[in-house]
Amino acid sequence: MNDVKLAVLGREGAGKSALIVRFLTKRFIGEYASNFESIYNKHLCLEGKQLNLEIYDPCSQPQKAKISLTNELHWADGFIIVYDISDRSSFAFAKALIYRIREPQTSHCKRTVESAVLLVGNKQDLCHVREVGWEEGQKLALDNGCQFHELSAAEQRLEVEMMFIKIITEILTN
């Protein structure tokens, strides 16, 4: 059986837990109260292959300028980087995370420059108070060799599911 380890990172409040819980339970839980980092397990069958998926949710990401990520970089096969399209500071945080993952100095880690990274602009249902344009997300992703999705954990169950499947497939084919 294949093991796939996925870390979901981003600024506090971007919707990491909402996306994970949506994928695992198909439900949107508005206020998901957990102050602890968690690793969730799920068995999946994808294109006839059995796999054991582990998803890491840090719950609250440190808001400091220099992001360490040392443990995550050693542990994960792929990363979902989440920002909130209605919060520009969360986009800046996502950018810093991507740069950290793509840094050449991290080449001793499990995955580096070529690792699967998917950038997600969450809360698309709040596009009337949007602070980050779709094009900005797309450009950041393109410039750094990432996939990009804009979606809403609150309103788009299928898109959330497809987004997870897409990055898992990329990890498996790498």
Please report, in angstroms and rounded to a whole number, the separation of the first and last CA atoms in the chain.
16
User: 32 or 134, CB closer to ligand GDP?
Assistant: 32
Distance of CA 4 to the CA centre of its chain: 14
User: 3 or 31, CB closer to ligand GDP?
Assistant: 31
Matching residue, tokens 């249902």? 125
Q: Find the residue with minimal CB distance to ligand GDP.
A: 15
Q: Which residues bind ligand GDP (CB under 6 A)?
A: 10, 12-18, 30-32, 122-123, 125-126, 152-154
CB of 57 to ligand GDP, least distance (A): 7
The residue among 119, 118, 102, 122 whose CA lies nearest residue 22 is: 122
CB of 93 to ligand GDP, least distance (A): 10
User: 21 or 146, CB closer to ligand GDP?
Assistant: 21
